[in-house]
Amino acid sequence: AQAILAQAQPLSAKLRTPLDTRRGTSRSAPMASKALVVPAAFGCAAAFVAPQQGLRGAPAAGAQEAGRAPVAAEPAQAACTLSAAAKLAGAAIVVGGLRAARRHGGRASARAVAMKATGIAINGFGRIGRQVARIAMKDPDVELKLINASYDAEYLAYQMKYDSIHGRYDGTIEADGDSLVIDGQKVALSHTRDPAEIPFTAHGAEYVCESTGVFLTAEKVQPHLKAGAKKIVFSAPAKDDSHTIVMGVNQDTYDSSMTCVSCASCTTNGLAPLVKAINDKFGIKRGLMTTIHAMTASQPTVDGSSKKDWRGGRAASGNIIPSSTGAAKAVAKVIPDVKGKLTGMAFRVPTIDVSVVDLTCELDTPTSYEEICAEVKRRAEGDMKGFLGYCDEDLVSTDFETCTISSTFDSKAGIMIDPTFVKLVAWYDNEWGYSCRVVDLIKHMASVDESGTSTKTEVKKSVEDLSDADLKGKTVLIRCDLNVPLNADLAITDETRITASIPTIEYLCKKGAKVLA
């Protein structure tokens, strides 16, 4: 082993990390990039955590017993650790560890990097703003610092405490002067219509949920930024080319250089996870979407006026109202492969929450309805868990009230006419489920911003896949001890792990990688 380590030492110098002769350890000097550079032969994925960062649910590398390689207790934990390591190292390429790396886009990875609670503010306290506030108050990863709304503290407390759909708030809410005390935590209030006057800096609110429906372009939120906001999340489709993210679908495209991000619409969040699961496996040639959508605050309860949409001005409480929606076309913003293949419409119906989407599509690959159900269930229980759900019970809309899942596939509601033509149905709580995604998106952005890296990670199954890859100046996270050769005694030892890893490390260095982790 000492001889092998001697061979590895020159490579270690290239990687700027002196190797320790103790099994599974390294002595890493502080690096501006926060990346801990560890040749992959030295221990499992849990060794890839930067000093003093650690993971929730996994001990920090520095906390391990001296001389013993850190070991993740469960595969899921190891996967989460590898995902976090990719963030910490700023990995542009992940080599090996494919199953774990795929989790990089899941909910666990969005929460993996340990950090202080993210300070958030809510501008606008309508249906989405209130649900975001409720969800944020119960999430230890975020801290609600400030609410900017028109009404006084007494009325805002009332609005948050009582809800006709989601029930009474599970906690305590009191008005205290011009602030709220929620579950014993003071939340500041402001009441300005000029975002330049909102005291974001004074209250430590770096991430803003913009839920007024008014400020939906990068230009219009410049006053927010000048007032001290760090990042803006639109709880509605952007009205410019600001980046759009649907959690569980394309969150890996977020980059810390982005200032304004849209969480898309509730219907796009209800449709995109299903589209992704189907398109990934079977391919979508073309499709039509219809959402049967609960009425919203923008509709009059009795006949009123709407110059823009005459039918939309009719009584929401007593009509089924055909309407337009850009949700289907917006899916192409998060799944470029379906650009030009989807469009849709809406029917507004007289219910006050929960909507259902009908996706009728032609597939590229012939299949059966049973195979479609099996694939959706697999994704719902796997890498898309928490975003895509699966239901095989005879449920109705009220059964999905306050459901946290973006899109729940109803296996009993779909139909198929031939192997490539199918109608699929998915439920979504257009208030609560969507608000959960707004909070998830803020947390994901904060996690990426904390590590100072992009989450856009390319996965390569093996070194052979890298022959055409441009690695110059990139950070590469490598896990190359998964399929190491056996020694003469048919055993896998540290020597064989190290020996097997060295050619890979040499190859990546020759390709010009900036940092190997």
- Residues 45 and 228: their CA atoms lie apart, in Å, by 38
- Residues 386 and 407: their CA atoms lie apart, in Å, by 9
pLDDT at 505: 78
pLDDT tens across 347-362, in order? 999 999 999 999 999 9
- Residues 279 and 275: their CA atoms lie apart, in Å, by 6
Residue 215: CA count within 13 A, CB half-sphere:
24
pLDDT at 503: 75
Q: Which residues is 293 bridged to in the sheet?
A: 348
> Can you tell me which residue has the tokens 């503290």?
153
Token readout for 420 is: 């490539």
pLDDT at 480: 61
- Residues 446 and 116: their CA atoms lie apart, in Å, by 10
The single residue of 44, 260, 266, 436 carrying the catalytic annotation is 266
**CATH number attached to the domain at 118-265+438-451:** 3.40.50.720
- Residues 143 and 121: their CA atoms lie apart, in Å, by 9
Nearest to 455 by CA among 162, 146, 245: 245
pLDDT at 487: 63
Residue 507 and residue 462 in contact, taking contact as beta carbons nearer than 8 Å: no
Q: What is the mean pLDDT of each run of 10 residues along the chain (517 residues)?
A: 62 46 35 34 32 32 34 37 47 43 34 66 98 97 97 97 97 96 97 96 96 96 96 96 96 95 97 97 97 96 93 96 93 95 97 98 98 97 96 97 98 98 98 98 94 59 62 70 60 70 77 73
Task: Round to the nearest angstrom and report the end-to-end CA distance of the chain.
Answer: 21
Nearest to 453 by CA among 171, 44, 133, 94: 94
Q: Where are the domains of the chain?
A: 2-96+461-516, 118-265+438-451, 266-430
Task: From residue 224, give the alpha-carbon distance in Å to each of 221, 296, 449, 450.
Answer: 5, 27, 18, 21
Residue 477: CA count within 13 A, CB half-sphere:
33
pLDDT tens across 366-389, in order? 999 999 999 999 999 999 999 999
We find that the CATH architecture of domain 266-430 is 2-Layer Sandwich (3.30)
pLDDT at 49: 30
209 flagged as catalytic = no
Per the document, the length of the chain is 517
- CA dihedral sign, ordered 307, 309, 311, 314: negative
Token readout for 279 is: 């398109």
pLDDT at 73: 34
Nearest to 360 by CA among 292, 286, 266: 286
- Residues 500 and 355: their CA atoms lie apart, in Å, by 54
